[in-house]
Amino acid sequence: MTVFVYKAVDARDNAVKGSVVADSARQARDILFERGLQVRDVAEEKKAKRSFLRTRKGTANAVANTLRELATLLSVGVGVVEALDIVAGDEGQNNAMRTSLLSLKDRVSSGGSLAAAMSDQSDIYDELTRHMVEVGEHSGTLDVVLDQVADFKERTLQLKDRVLGAVLYPAIVLGTSMIVVVFLMTVVVPMLLTSLLEANQELPWPTLVLKTMSDTLVHHGIWLLLLGIVCGVGFLVLIRSEKGKLLIDQAVLRVPLVGSMIRKQAISRVSMVISTLLKSGIEYVQAVKIASGSTKNRVLSNGLKNSVEFVTSGEEIGQSLKRTGLFPSVVVHVFSVGQASGKLEEMLDRLAETYDRQVSSLANRLTSVLEPLLIVVLAVFVGFILFATLLPILEAGNVLQKS
């Protein structure tokens, strides 16, 4: 489906313009004719150039904003079809979302449900959104449900930003450090060592170690690069297999500080999903099944699926989570007390907020630990290079003084 922009005249001879989704320009004209419009011009909408910054995060932000706008329009009495058309026509709307919204509008105006229309665009609207919209349509609370989904998506994005912020800066420092080290070892060090070797002076062991490292990079650098590429390809193949993904997810959870942060981020997200779904009237078992797909860590996802089997066999919710051995005692206690008190949704909201704060704290700690550590490592290495190159010069000076 393609978005076409048009200029036309309506039955009252008023000039109108807008956009429509169709397979071809001819089909677009037919659709507009059926709407009672006399078409003057139809052209395919120009696609904006892809920016490096247009990532999944951008799509997720657009979806959250779109759902919020739809909820606002529906809450003041605007119909679903009209609301979709208004939001799609927003000047600030990106092409991908405009195409999606116009496609949804066509499906709904043809008699289909919004949830069913979203099911055809699973790459944009996840399972949580589709289930929530379906519940909202059946209960007549679509505006409330869309607001809840928008809240959830915004909180999830904020949580991701905190984790990304903790990892991004150290990664930049590490990458820059590696470039500096390679430059020093392949360009600067050989130039310094050449003058020392021409003096036929016996080199001390630190200088010999530095020379060996430099020679290895200069003469065998291409093979080291190829080895790195092979290892990288092997790693990509590994993480594409289900077994490999599971092994990596298990290993990540065992990493100090990082593992704790990822576990708490996943639990916070799962808690938000389950709470949001329970508020919409979806039963616990179905809510957990959906929530298990909201975390990318397969170890925790499988643990949630196993807990569902325990619950369906008659176990209490808290005990089912405890049996997996993957969730902290605090989480188990919250689920147990929430089930007993009938306030599981409220307690899960509080748990998510608590873990949000803890993830933010862990992210700050991770940054505060990695940043100076990387700087110290780089400083030690550069210091070793300076020491190894200056040592033979200092020794030669001592020999001259003695003589």
Q: What is the distance between the alpha carbons of residues 391 and 187, in angstroms, rounded to a whole number?
A: 19
**In this predicted structure, what is the pLDDT of residue 351?**
92
**In this predicted structure, what is the pLDDT of residue 109?**
86
Asked whether the predicted pLDDT for residue 333 surpasses 90, the reply is: yes
**In this predicted structure, what is the pLDDT of residue 193?**
80
Q: What is the distance between the alpha carbons of residues 71 and 62, in angstroms, rounded to a whole number?
A: 14
Mean pLDDT of the chain: 83
**In this predicted structure, what is the pLDDT of residue 258?**
83
Kindly report the backbone phi and psi dihedral angles of residue 3, in degrees, each rounded to the nearest multiple of 5, phi listed first: -90, 125
Across residues 223-246, what is the average pLDDT? 88
Asked whether the predicted pLDDT for residue 384 surpasses 70, the reply is: yes
**169-172 long-range contacts, Cβ below 8 Å, gap at least 24?**
169/367, 169/371, 170/366, 170/367, 170/370, 170/371, 170/374
Domain layout of the chain by residue ranges: 2-44, 57-125, 140-403
* pLDDT class of 70 with cuts at 50, 70, 90: very high
* pLDDT class of 395 with cuts at 50, 70, 90: confident
The H or E element spanning position 299 is helix 298-312
Give the range with max mean pLDDT: 269-273, 334-338, 359-363.
334-338
**In this predicted structure, what is the pLDDT of residue 82?**
92
Asked whether the predicted pLDDT for residue 346 surpasses 60, the reply is: yes
- Give tens-digit pLDDT for 87-124: 988 877 777 888 888 888 888 888 888 988 888 888 88
Across residues 121-141, what is the average pLDDT? 84
**In this predicted structure, what is the pLDDT of residue 50?**
41
Across residues 307-313, what is the average pLDDT? 90
Q: What is the distance between the alpha carbons of residues 346 and 338, in angstroms, rounded to a whole number?
A: 8
Asked whether the predicted pLDDT for residue 53 surpasses 60, the reply is: no
**In this predicted structure, what is the pLDDT of residue 235?**
87
